[in-house]
Amino acid sequence: MSSGRLKQAAETSPEHYIILLALAAGLFAWIMRTALDFYFYSEKTLPGALLLDISHRELYSRVSIAAAFLLTGIIISRAVNRLKSSELRARRLDQCVRSVRTINQLVTRVRDRTTLCQRSCEELVIGLGYERVQARLDGVTRGFAELPHTDTGAPATPASEPVTIPIICGGERLGELIMTHGREMEWDAEERALLNEVAEDIAFSVTMMNVTEHLRQQREEVQTILDSVSAYISYKDRGGRYIRVNKALADVARIPQQDWIGKTFAEIMPTCEEVGVYADEEVLATGKAKHSPLEALELPKETRWIQSHRVPYRDSSGAVVGVIALSVDVTDRMEAERALACKDEQLRQSQKMEAIGQLAGGIAHDFNNLLTAISGYTELARAELEPNGSASEMLFAVSKAADRAAALTRQLLAFSRKQPLWLAELDLNEVVSGMTDMLERLIGADIELVTDLDENLGKIEADTSQIEQVVMNLAVNARDAMPHGGKLTINTSVADTSAVCRDENPEGCDRGYVCFRVTDTGMGMDSKTMAQIFEPFYTTKKPGVGTGLGLSVVDGIAEQHGGWVNVESEPGRGTSFSICLPVAPERPPESSDDQCADAEAVSEAPAAGGERVLLVEDEDSVRAFATRALTDWGYNVVEAASAEEALVALESDPSGFDLIFSDIVLPGRSGTQLAEEISARNTDTRILLSSGYCFSDGDDESPSEIGFPLLKKPYSARGLRTAIHEVLS
């Protein structure tokens, strides 16, 4: 081969092929075939091929490549699995973090342990996919949640073992969280740490709830104790704003307890003056307790009287931050003490009236004895003189003076409530109208008298003379209160006294009342004077002008008739007296069995026919007068100074007496006892009793109790003669 050819052959790249030959018996061989062109020197080219057995080399190469690819796949697969696991773990931890955050929000919002546990269990099941979660506190299940199951027909996945995470706070185990996965798995440490955090949050929240509940119970117990106390209790801060008040204070002020909190007294009750301001300031300034014996607690509708004790309200460091006030309401006690004092005063007044009444009764008895002798002898003396002579006129003046003395005695008896009543139905308008002329002369020309009488006025059951005396006394008082003239008004009306009736006369509330009012335009009275006007012998008049009995008599007469007296007066604006009396019952008035009518109104009795009379009288002047009068009229009189002398006279005179005329008040045995003894011996004996003393209802010595007729002292000669004639008839 020429050099040129060789060069061309050398520069020509051979073509290589790798051929897989199938040999017998399932064997294979890798053959590398290389195509070559053979050049000869004759420049003739012959194609050819070079076959090379490369089975071992190819097998090794391919196995190496396959192994390399397999190893790479394994590495990549593992890397992918690790990446997927990391992503799942990160996603799981992210879910755990979100659940922890949700439960943290529940911890801050929920204030009920059962609700907190239940919603936490639901969050762990829904958010993290646990099969079931149970929360237990103090051995009691407070929450439970479970994934819902659907029946797919596939075999159930075995669940993991339950995991218990303790709920612990401050070293104290409060309960546990019990969680179960739906498949077998290993618990991640970080997930478990997050679950421990959930348990810690629940434990802290439950502890706070327990503390809050304990504090709430303590506050409720304290409030219950405060509310059960009848005293008024309040806490105030340094600015005077209320921190707490008890129910008693809220109720008395009619303001709910919650409306006090955070407000001052001025904000709560702007129209009332705050109580104890200076005492509060003193407690805040000194830090010492302060006692106030009496304070006025002003409220919108009333004023209560309290005794207060204030102590400083201190914080944990001991600094004074407010005032605690405890106030005891003494209003009812003061009213009770005032009522008791009033009752004591009434008792003293009653005792005084009783004593004065006994004195008045005794004075009346002695006066009436004297007046009986004076009036009787005066009448006998006038009978022996010329009617128009000067001596007769002087004796007539003596008789009138005796009558005035008798009227004064009746006033004493009316004042002491011992004057007997001669009741009859009467028209109050007629009484006032019948006294008009006399009242005009009594009060004088410089005082105008005005009457305003209700035509529909009902009748009353009363003693006419005593009602006239009431009108007279009030008119005289009104006249004296208007020394420079004025106006006196007397009016009558039907009284609407239901409220007053219950207080003054509760037994008569079912009866109607009439009222007559006497009003003047005089100087009036202050409250101090009004409180004393009904006291006996109290008077604002000059010495010698008044006796101080006029209004006491008015009050006594009103009380005897079942009524009362109201007074209204102001200094410089006049005075008004209202006398309320019950309406007469709808029945005919009872007739009086008393045989002792006024002697001057009885017709002249005929002369006696020698009837024998036993006269029993311890007063010498009265006995002498009665003996003289009866003897002059034809009676045969035997005298006795006591009951014992009378009994001796009865025993020594077998012919007996037609009449026993005896005084009641005798030394030793009384006249009523004598009359009873004589009646027991001889029921036909006629008896007439006499007395200047007035007996109370139910008195054993009262003639009305034993059924004997009575001749009141002082009596005139004509009255004595008429009374004896009527008894003998």
pLDDT digits (tens, 9 = 90+) for 498-523: 544 444 554 545 668 899 899 998 88
CA-to-CA distance for 534 and 548, rounded, in angstroms? 9
Tokens of 173: 């185990």
Per-residue CA distances from 441 to 68, 475, 479, 488, 633 (Å): 156, 11, 11, 13, 41
Q: Which residues pair with 146 in a beta bridge?
A: 132
Residue 535: helix, strand or coil by DSSP? coil
Tokens of 39: 């050049």
- Least reliable range by pLDDT among 411-425, 524-538, 634-648: 411-425
pLDDT at residue 519 in the model: 92
Read off the pLDDT of each residue in 462-484 and give the average, rounded to a whole number: 84
pLDDT at residue 469 in the model: 81
Confidence of residue 597 (pLDDT cuts 50, 70, 90): very low
Provide the residue type at 57 as one letter.
Answer: R
Residue 243: helix, strand or coil by DSSP? strand
Read off the pLDDT of each residue in 254-282 and give the average, rounded to a whole number: 86
Q: Which residues pair with 495 in a beta bridge?
A: 513
pLDDT at residue 506 in the model: 47
pLDDT at residue 590 in the model: 43
Strands (E) located in 270-368: 290-298, 303-314, 320-329
Give Cα 136 to chain centroid, integer Å.
51
Residue 37 near residue 46, CB atoms below 8 Å: yes
Q: How many CB atoms lie within 10 A of CB 721?
A: 24
Confidence of residue 253 (pLDDT cuts 50, 70, 90): confident
Is the pLDDT assigned to residue 4 strictly greater than 60? no
More confident residue, 27 or 215: 215
CA-to-CA distance for 421 and 561, rounded, in angstroms? 9
pLDDT at residue 499 in the model: 45
Tokens of 281: 């300031």
How high does pLDDT run on average in the chain? 77
pLDDT at residue 704 in the model: 56
Read off the pLDDT of each residue in 250-265 and give the average, rounded to a whole number: 87
More confident residue, 49 or 320: 320
Confidence of residue 600 (pLDDT cuts 50, 70, 90): very low
Confidence of residue 421 (pLDDT cuts 50, 70, 90): low
Q: Which domains does the chain have, with CATH numbers?
A: 3-53 (no CATH), 84-147+157-216 (3.30.450.40), 229-329 (3.30.450.20), 339-399 (no CATH), 423-582 (3.30.565.10), 599-728 (3.40.50.2300)
More confident residue, 59 or 457: 457
Is the pLDDT assigned to residue 698 strictly greater than 60? no
More confident residue, 51 or 14: 51
Read off the pLDDT of each residue in 579-601 and give the average, rounded to a whole number: 56
pLDDT at residue 713 in the model: 82
Tokens of 138: 């103090």
Q: Which residues pair with 303 in a beta bridge?
A: 298
Read off the pLDDT of each residue in 632-651 and give the average, rounded to a whole number: 88
Provide the sign of the torsion angle of the four alpha carbons 400, 403, 408, 414, taken in this order. Answer: negative
pLDDT at residue 377 in the model: 83
Helix segments in 110-152, DSSP class H? 113-128
Per-residue CA distances from 228 to 246, 248, 528 (Å): 8, 8, 42
Read off the pLDDT of each residue in 279-283 and give the average, rounded to a whole number: 87
Is the pLDDT assigned to residue 152 strictly greater than 60? no
Read off the pLDDT of each residue in 135-147 and give the average, rounded to a whole number: 86
Note the pLDDT tens digit of each residue in 346-390: 677 667 767 776 777 777 777 788 888 888 888 888 887 877 777
Which are the contacts of 195, defined by CB distance < 8 A and separation ≥ 6?
96, 163, 165, 177, 179
Pairing of strands 232-237, 140-146: unpaired
Is the pLDDT assigned to residue 603 strictly greater than 70? no
- Least reliable range by pLDDT among 1-5, 87-91, 320-324, 367-371: 1-5
pLDDT at residue 706 in the model: 60
Read off the pLDDT of each residue in 413-434 and give the average, rounded to a whole number: 72
Residue 73 near residue 44, CB atoms below 8 Å: no
pLDDT at residue 502 in the model: 42
pLDDT at residue 229 in the model: 81
Strands (E) located in 394-465: 424-426, 447-452, 460-462
Residue 325: helix, strand or coil by DSSP? strand
pLDDT at residue 7 in the model: 46
Read off the pLDDT of each residue in 383-400 and give the average, rounded to a whole number: 80
Read off the pLDDT of each residue in 679-708 and give the average, rounded to a whole number: 70
Read off the pLDDT of each residue in 304-330 and give the average, rounded to a whole number: 88
More confident residue, 391 or 563: 563
